[in-house]
Amino acid sequence: MNRPTKLTLLRMFLIPFIVVLSYMDARWTHWAMLAIFLAASMTDWLDGYLARKHNQVTTLGKLLDPLADKLLVLTAFLVLLEHRNLPAWLVILMIGREMAITGLRAFLAAEKVILPAGQAGKWKMVFQVIALSFLFVASEHIVFYYVGMITMGIALILSLWSASWYLIDFWQLLGEKIMAEQMAGKKRV
């Protein structure tokens, strides 16, 4: 197992600590959740950087990395929802988007078609991490809450924007695959 994959597994290992800390009623736990969340988020950048730099991109890494990302972000959304730092409608939209895009990508992967992450999706993740970071410590100062919610609004816009591009790409790739299969079928006749 290479170093980038170990970093991805570390990200997954850190997630339960955020959940446990969310049930503790001490002021320091908000800062501890933030520290763990940021450390886990940094492993996302670092594992990708190392995998590309050292040519260590693996099938396992391609599978685990997006899974770890989604588990981390969805955990943060649910913890903040439970603490009433995020409205349910926003969490439903964000989680729904993640599930829909994951489903599209899984369907295409089964068809041996790769749908890479787009630039808007990458920026969505950056804004989500920033917003979630502020919202973890929102109880410390009202400004943190407002900065977190404004940034989350930007993340929501980017999330819906990137989802629309995923859908367009999905239908285009699927159409190309169907056309290629039809052409191959005609050649065999």
What pTM did the predictor assign? 0.86
Q: What confidence score (pLDDT) does residue 38 get?
A: 97
Cα–Cα distance list, 55 to 15, 23, 88 (Å): 27, 41, 41
pLDDT of 154-170, one tens digit each?
A: 999 999 999 998 888 88
Question: Out of 23-27, 37-41, 51-55, 58-62, which region has the weakest mean confidence (pLDDT)?
Answer: 58-62
Q: Which residues make Cβ contacts (< 8 Å) with residue 136, sequence separation at least 6? A: 30, 33, 34, 37, 76, 80, 85
Q: Which one has a higher pLDDT value, 60 or 158? A: 158
Q: Is the pLDDT of residue 75 over 80?
A: yes
Distance CA(109)–CA(72), nearest Å, equals 23
**pLDDT band per the 50, 70, 90 thresholds, residue 16:** very high
pLDDT of 189 over the 60 cut: no
Cβ atoms of 39 and 86 within 8 Å: the answer is no
Residue pLDDT, tens place only, 106-119: 887 787 777 777 78
Which residues, in sequence order, are CB contacts of 4 under 8 Å at separation 6+? Answer: 46, 47, 48, 50, 51, 54, 56, 57, 58, 61
pLDDT for residue 175: 79
List the CATH number of the domain containing 111: 1.20.120.1760
DSSP-based three-state secondary structure for 111? coil
Residues 84-97 have pLDDT tens digits of: 889 999 999 999 99
In a domain, 153, yes or no: yes
For the stretch 121-148, pLDDT in tens is: 889 999 999 999 999 999 999 999 999 9
pLDDT score of 177 more than 80: no
Instruction: For tokens 């597994």, name the residue.
Output: 9
CA angle at residue 165 from 74 to 97, to 5 degrees? 20
pLDDT of residue 176: 80
Any domain includes 181: no
The parent domain of residue 108 ranges over 3-176
Question: Is 188 a residue whose pLDDT tops 70?
Answer: no
Q: Is residue 183 part of a domain?
A: no
> How many domains, in total, are found in the chain?
1
Specify if 135 maps to a domain.
yes
